[in-house]
Amino acid sequence: MKKLLLLFACVSLLCACGGSSPKPTEESKTLPASSLILKGKHAKLFKLSGDTYNVHLVKVADDWQVRIKMTIATNTPFENIKNSENFERELEGPYGKLLNSSDVELESLEMNGSDWETLLQEDEESELAIGGNTWTYKHMEYERAKEIFDNTVAVEISGLELRPLKKESLKSATQSIMEDQDIQDLKDAAETAGKLLEAEKGLLDALF
């Protein structure tokens, strides 16, 4: 009887140990530069600085998030892009995706567009730490966030496209150029008239 009770106790203990879930823990890992995909009409303006970037599993209040952290540098000066005068130094709105080994989206990322636009204001090469995170409104449990974190092997950032210059601004810029040209034309005409008057004066002096 004692042996039977002992056996039941051991079985219960093993079941209790085997059935317990892992303790929620924050984690981090690095991914190679080759796994970062930058997409958009003007994606060539940017590049990853360094050979790796980071993916984090973090707790935020009572929820869990997967976050990315990377250093992005300017790759091509704003002035060197085609028709740069037709664009604002602003982006339409970057957004990110966490991808698995089959290039399937695991979850979308919230990105701060102002970070990217800060780089656009620089005319020389510069770099800035840029981050993104799974959307806070989803209030993910640890198990879901952990699953996404474990399966993330690549990150895609899209929407890297410059905002077209507003028609009013473009019109104003064009008008300003035309006004400058008109002023130059007036100056040239005045200079020519002055030379003609001097020539006529010289001719009259010679005659009389």
Sign for the pseudo-dihedral over CA of 153, 72, 68, 90? negative
Residue 35: closest CA among 150, 157, 154, 149 = 154
Residue 111: closest CA among 146, 145, 157 = 157
Give residue-wise pLDDT tens across range 95-154.
999 999 999 999 999 998 888 989 988 878 899 999 999 999 999 999 999 999 999 999
The Cα–Cα gap between 136 and 122 comes to: 31
Cβ atoms of 70 and 128 closer than 8 Å: no
For residue 87, give every residue at least 6 positions away whose Cβ sits within 8 Å of its Cβ, in sequence order, or none.
Answer: 81, 162, 163, 164, 165
pLDDT in tens, the chain (208 residues): 455 445 555 545 555 555 556 699 999 999 999 999 999 999 999 999 999 999 999 999 999 999 999 999 999 888 888 888 999 999 988 999 999 999 999 999 999 888 898 998 887 889 999 999 999 999 999 999 999 999 999 999 999 999 999 876 555 555 655 556 666 777 777 777 677 777 666 666 666 5
Claim: this prediction has a pTM higher than 0.75 = no
